[in-house]
Structure 1
Amino acid sequence: MGNDRLIAAATAVTRPPAPCLRPYLRLLWAWAPEGGAARRPGAREHVLPTGGMHLVFRLSGPPLRLFGSAADARGQTFGHAIVGGARSAFYLRDVSVATRSVGAQLQPGAARMLLGAPEGALAGAHTPLEALWGRSAADAALAQLHAAADPEAQLALFERLLARRLATSLNAGLHGLHPAVAASLDAVDRGDANIGTLVARSGYSHRRFIALFRGDTGLAPKEYARVRRFDRALSLAGEARRHDWAEIALAAGYSDQAHLSREFSALAGMGPQAWRERGAPSPRHVPAAGQIRSRR
């Protein structure tokens, strides 16, 4: 596979997409729990924001169920093929049954090409895929993925499905990122650029630039930069758990530890120490208070 090296651990497979899809996808993954669908009644987890979108097919277990708050006992279900829009705070999901799944993390500007709607129309929410592809296409994709023999085969099939949709969009003359957004995205992602400067460089009015950026990412520039800075802090904390929070805060771009702590509470629904004490296997999928550890 050359540079497309598979990274496999047990029944989890994660890899970059084929070269033709890399401008549109960050990552492909497949997950199958060992020993079947273990049940943990009432288990929930906080899914923390990354600034990006994802497309997921759940291949076993119940449909995705999300909760509006810790006090929400009923929740809302979204089906087995779901698009998760860009968010600026965590959401709470049911993980009482471990499920098999295959999915992709999308690059900014990819939603229009692969899903048929811009990021701005899907932000802050989960959308059943059938609402975007139509029920027939979504059901057909689910059936094909169900029939694949193993996670590697599922990813190969999933990749082909997305490549075909991309080819159709390109043939129809559709485009991904707007040039003004593409030119500013790295700087906004790093959080080291003044929005006014980016607006001036774009040649558009402030209102038009914000609208273009939100349309292609789902978030306004400052909001996007805020979430990406938080994601940098999560990566640092996950890779170097012995580092103190003051060091992590400065390395991620916060003014001090108190600033990071406030952002943690706002974006993750818990403070930094609570996040660390929960011992989550993934820094962005954290057991809710009182819950045991969980995985996709």
Structure 2
Amino acid sequence: MAGMLLTRIPPPSLRFVVRSMWAAEPGPAGALPHPAPRREHVLPTGDMHLVFRLSDTPLRLFADPDDSTGWTVGHAMVGGARSAFYAREVAAPTASVGAQLRPGAAWALFGMPASALAERHTPLDALWGGAAGDALDLLQGLRMPSARLDALEALLVRRLAQRPLALHPAVARGLRGIADGTPVRDLVRASGYSHRHFASLFKEAAGLAPKRLQRVLRFQRLLATAPGIVPWVELALALGYSDQSHCIREFGDIAGMSPEAYRRAAPSAPNHVCVDRSTSSKTSRPGGIRIAPTPLHRGPPHDRP
């Protein structure tokens, strides 16, 4: 019997803070052999994520291809907005539930700017104290993914009531412009603020500076535009890269591999690519990473831990 993945659009009361919610449940023990631990590049979407891992296996991350030890984050965490991939361990299938969060959610749900959580994973107990453990216990006690989604939804509604979202109007306009590909200089001019002030307001809400977020969103459009069919050079020009070399260079910086390596991997979830670290090192070029032929993780298309 295969595992189960449920996704949900949040209710109107959460929709301006939460982009989507999901719950994953692996198949019954013994249905499939547990693979040996492997590593996976999780590619950035520009969003922040709140995740509860409900199985025994905590999240383990690695600093670089030569890091054989890594470090454990835990079972409940916030994955901040990132401008490049991170590497995690993938072993036995894991039950989990989480939410993909919109800019501004960090203030509303965690009481701090998104910039303080960006480019890293933060254990949830560092933000919520004992309430993080209570939430994890509650979710672990529920057996159905739908019930876990209901419980997480109720939890976020209660949290939001304590500190309602207040997104600066200039940031809200800037986010719309970033998504549309408007040049950052035009957004700064329209805001009426200096470049430094606008960038500071933007990072507090979104976690990333405007140009970095725009870079990640363009990368995501690249992944979504049939890269297995359309030649890379055509995609590069259509999406605003200066040339094919620019596209390949940015792809390597963000994904940790070349576009062709990504294409050969053909991951079932666009932002999750298993890698074989045996042929890579700290000094390897991104294109030198060998891609596992079959991705082990088949989660939803975002960078959930």
Give the TM-score of the pair, scaled to structure 1.
0.90
Residue ranges of structure 2 left out of the alignment (5+ in a row): 277-290, 300-305
Q: Indicate the SS of the match to 1:229.
A: helix
The one-letter amino acid paired with 2:46 is G
Please state if 1:293 is matched with 2:295. Answer: yes
Q: Indicate the SS of the match to 1:222.
A: helix
2:144 aligned residue: 150
The one-letter amino acid paired with 1:186 is R
Instruction: Select 2:24's aligned residue among 26, 31, 40.
Output: 31
| 1:171-222 residue CA offsets vs partner (Å, 9 max, x unmatched) | xxxx33211110111111232x232222222122221111001111111111
Instruction: Select 2:92's aligned residue among 89, 97, 116.
Output: 97
Following TM superposition, by how much is the alpha carbon of 1:96 offset from its aligned partner in structure 2, in angstroms?
A: 1.6
Aligned equivalents of 1:128, 1:267: Cα separation in 2? 24
Confirm or deny: 8 A CA contact 1:199 1:209 kept in the other structure: yes
Aligned equivalents of 2:95, 2:199: Cα separation in 1? 38
Q: Indicate the SS of the match to 1:19.
A: coil
The one-letter amino acid paired with 2:4 is T
1:246 aligned residue: 233
Pairs within 5 Å for 1:208-287: 208-237=197-226, 241-287=228-274
Following TM superposition, by how much is the alpha carbon of 1:244 offset from its aligned partner in structure 2, in angstroms?
A: 2.1
Q: Indicate the SS of the match to 1:287.
A: strand
| 1:101-144 residue CA offsets vs partner (Å, 9 max, x unmatched) | 0011000111110122210110111000000011x201111111
Confirm or deny: 8 A CA contact 2:44 2:81 kept in the other structure: yes
The one-letter amino acid paired with 1:262 is R
Pairs within 5 Å for 1:107-256: 107-134=102-129, 136-170=130-164, 175-191=165-181, 193-237=182-226, 241-256=228-243
Pairs within 5 Å for 1:27-106: 27-36=20-29, 38-106=33-101
Aligned equivalents of 1:50, 1:243: Cα separation in 2? 22
Following TM superposition, by how much is the alpha carbon of 1:98 offset from its aligned partner in structure 2, in angstroms?
A: 1.6
Confirm or deny: 8 A CA contact 1:61 1:97 kept in the other structure: no
Confirm or deny: 8 A CA contact 1:110 1:177 kept in the other structure: no
Q: Indicate the SS of the match to 1:105.
A: strand
Following TM superposition, by how much is the alpha carbon of 1:79 offset from its aligned partner in structure 2, in angstroms?
A: 0.7
Aligned equivalents of 2:177, 2:14: Cα separation in 1? 23
Confirm or deny: 8 A CA contact 1:49 1:90 kept in the other structure: yes
Kindly tell me the number of residue pairs found equivalent between the two proteins: 280
Q: Indicate the SS of the match to 2:74.
A: coil
Following TM superposition, by how much is the alpha carbon of 1:253 offset from its aligned partner in structure 2, in angstroms?
A: 2.7
Residue ranges of structure 1 left out of the alignment (5+ in a row): 1-8
Following TM superposition, by how much is the alpha carbon of 1:286 offset from its aligned partner in structure 2, in angstroms?
A: 0.5
Give the TM-score of the pair, scaled to structure 2.
0.87
Following TM superposition, by how much is the alpha carbon of 1:10 offset from its aligned partner in structure 2, in angstroms?
A: 5.2
